[in-house]
């Protein structure tokens, strides 16, 4: 068997806690062809270039060579499961993309002349965060993931969308099952991963059905939140078809919290690993805004994205990506690219010119970024302010299996108490 490429090594579960040495190796070939025909792009400049190149498609239906190429077994079926959903904005191209995203924007952020809905959530965010911290009183050990990082974003996205919070255990299980089965690395071929796939496909279907059911209910009886509003009012751009709406709703529900959880958890973890930075933030709470940008650069919640492909031959960095080839953009590596960020492995809460790619760039720039930023800023600021003498119990903590949405499964922290 051929030696594993740096990319394949980076994807191994054993390297989940620290893929960065492999990324450094990977960046020596900015656009690296993998044995399965995928082109992995790891450098900042090349990623930005491709994000603005109209010959790159995000539409999974335009991956002609995917089936034909000698795809690593296992890498494919989950993508197919996604294909079974109608396209949503992350898996389609203009003009559909721009049109659908515009419709969603109005309902998510509010009217174009005063899109206040997200900034209006700040008091809610503060209240939820305060409640979670109050709940830790009297404890000496907490799990930052289960008790802090997860409940906040999931509560908020449910509220914004109008998904009943009571359904959280069900959709949480479906999403977990799907995420745990998604693997792009050498381990995808293992018995273990193969056996997870069937369950994952079932979960994606159930999630889609759940969403369709909810939309159906809202069609009969309007309710709170964005989804009901979208079912009833198409606005100037018309109404979204049921299937497309359901698919985008699944995307929002899932992207709306899985990423944010990881950023909050990673932020706490990173700060506990950098006591000087933690102390600095405690002394100067106003640093929270640049700090969250740096934390996202440092540990990117979406390590790479996998649905792009070349529609035409593309010459880049001395390589030609042939038409039809899948393209992976490794944001987590670009954000540590020394050609772009001075001393990239150093955490610098006041890093100047911190134009990271944590939320990507171009037309697929993260839809929920303003909400995510607000949540994480408040969550990290309050954690730093209120938690007394937090100490990491295990370093590195255990990680979740998923490679794209990379984050710790648990972050156990010993604490001395909760300040007011």
Q: How far apart are CA 10 and CA 25, in angstroms?
A: 10
Helix, strand or coil for residue 309? Answer: strand
Residue among 121, 231, 288, 372 that touches ligand HEM (CB under 6 A)? 372
Tell me the Cα Rg of the chain: 21
Which DSSP state fits 4?
Answer: P
Helix, strand or coil for residue 28? Answer: coil
Helix, strand or coil for residue 403? Answer: coil
Residue among 249, 252, 271, 278 that touches ligand HEM (CB under 6 A)? 252
The listed partner (another protein, ligand HEM, none) that binds 57, CB under 5 to 8 Å by sort, is another protein
Binders of another protein among residues 340 to 399 (CB under 8 A) are 353-355, 359, 361-363, 365, 369-370, 373-374, 377
Residue 357: CB minimum distance to another protein, A:
9
Between β-strands 314-316 and 326-329, what pairing exists: parallel, antiparallel or unpaired? unpaired
Nearer to ligand HEM, 184 or 367 (CB): 367
- Determine the distance from the C-alpha atom of residue 266 to the mean position of all C-alpha atoms in its chain, rounded to a whole number: 13
The pattern of x and - marking residues 345 through 364 that bind ligand HEM according to CB under 6 A reads -------------xxx---x
Which tokens hold the place of 150?
Answer: 């997860």
Nearer to another protein, 188 or 295 (CB): 295
* First-to-final CA distance of the chain: 59
Residue among 277, 366, 374, 378 that touches ligand HEM (CB under 6 A)? 366
The residue assigned the tokens 């450098």 is 43
89 near ligand HEM, judged by CB under 6 A = yes
The residue range among 16-24, 113-121, 190-198, 254-262 that interacts with another protein, by the rule CB under 8 A, is 113-121
What are 277-282's contacts with CB under 8 Å, separation 24+?
277/347, 277/349, 278/384, 280/349, 281/349, 281/380, 281/381, 281/384, 282/384, 282/385
53 near another protein, judged by CB under 8 A = yes
Q: Name the residue among 405, 346, 367 with its Cα closest to residue 145.
A: 405
The listed partner (ligand HEM, another protein, none) that binds 263, CB under 5 to 8 Å by sort, is ligand HEM
132 near ligand HEM, judged by CB under 6 A = no
The residue assigned the tokens 């970024």 is 369
Residue among 215, 263, 271, 404 that touches ligand HEM (CB under 6 A)? 263
Identify whether the C-beta of residue 58 lies closer than 8 Å to the C-beta of residue 92: yes
230 near ligand HEM, judged by CB under 6 A = no
Q: How far apart are CA 68 and CA 118, in angstroms?
A: 44
The DSSP-derived string for 53-106 is -TTEE--GGG-HHHHHS-PPTTTTHHHHHHHHSPP-GGG--TTHHHHHHHHHHH
Q: C-alpha angle 301/159/130, rounded to 5°?
A: 75
The pattern of x and - marking residues 129 through 168 that bind another protein according to CB under 8 A reads ----------------------------------------
Binders of ligand HEM among residues 277 to 336 (CB under 6 A) are 301-302, 305, 331
Binders of another protein among residues 258 to 317 (CB under 8 A) are 289-290, 292-293, 310-312
Nearer to another protein, 286 or 420 (CB): 286
The listed partner (another protein, ligand HEM, none) that binds 377, CB under 5 to 8 Å by sort, is another protein
Nearer to another protein, 75 or 376 (CB): 376
The listed partner (another protein, ligand HEM, none) that binds 47, CB under 5 to 8 Å by sort, is none
* Binding interface with another protein (CB under 8 A): 48-49, 52-57, 59, 62, 93-95, 98, 102, 105, 109, 112-116, 118-119, 289-290, 292-293, 310-312, 353-355, 359, 361-363, 365, 369-370, 373-374, 377
């Amino acid at each position: 068997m051929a030696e594993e490429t740096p990319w394949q090594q980076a994807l191994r579960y054993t390297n989940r806690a620290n893929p960065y040495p492999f990324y450094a190796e990977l960046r020596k070939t900015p656009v690296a062809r993998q044995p399965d025909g995928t082109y992995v792009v790891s450098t900042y400049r090349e990623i930005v270039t491709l994000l603005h190149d109209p010959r790159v498609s995000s539409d999974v239906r335009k991956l002609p060579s995917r089936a034909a190429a000698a795809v690593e077994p296992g890498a494919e079926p989950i993508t197919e499961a996604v294909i079974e959903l109608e396209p949503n904005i992350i898996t389609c191209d203009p003009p559909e993309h721009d049109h659908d995203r515009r419709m969603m924007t109005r309902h998510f952020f509010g009217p174009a002349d005063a899109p206040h809905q997200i900034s209006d959530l700040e008091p809610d965010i503060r209240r939820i965060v305060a409640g979670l911290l109050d709940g830790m009183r009297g404890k000496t050990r907490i799990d930052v993931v289960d008790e802090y990082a997860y409940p906040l974003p999931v509560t908020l996205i449910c509220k914004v969308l109008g998904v009943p919070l009571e359904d959280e255990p069900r959709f949480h299980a479906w999403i977990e099952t799907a995420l745990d089965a998604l693997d792009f690395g050498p381990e995808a071929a293992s018995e273990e991963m193969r056996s997870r796939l069937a369950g994952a496909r079932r979960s994606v279907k159930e999630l889609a059905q759940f969403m369709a059911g909810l939309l159906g209910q809202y069609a009969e009886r309007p309710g709170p939140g964005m989804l009901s509003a979208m079912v009833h009012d198409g606005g100037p751009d018309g109404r979204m078809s049921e299937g497309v709406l359901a698919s985008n709703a699944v995307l929002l529900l899932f992207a709306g919290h899985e990423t944010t959880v990881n950023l909050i958890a990673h932020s706490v973890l990173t700060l506990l690993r950098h006591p000087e930075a933690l102390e600095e933030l405690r002394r100067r709470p106003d640093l929270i805004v640049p700090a969250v940008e740096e934390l996202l650069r440092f540990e990117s919640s979406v390590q790479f994205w996998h649905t792009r492909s070349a529609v035409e031959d593309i010459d880049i960095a001395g390589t030609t990506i042939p038409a039809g080839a899948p393209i992976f953009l490794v944001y987590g590596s670009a954000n540590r690219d020394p050609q772009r960020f001075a001393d990239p492995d150093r955490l610098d809460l006041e890093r100047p010119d911190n134009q990271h790619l944590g939320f990507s760039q171009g037309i697929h720039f993260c839809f929920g970024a303003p909400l995510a930023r607000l949540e994480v800023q408040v969550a990290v600021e309050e954690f730093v302010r209120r938690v007394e003498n937090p100490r990491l119990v295990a370093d590195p903590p255990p990680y979740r299996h998923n490679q794209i949405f990379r984050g710790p499964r648990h972050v156990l922290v010993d604490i001395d108490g909760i300040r007011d």
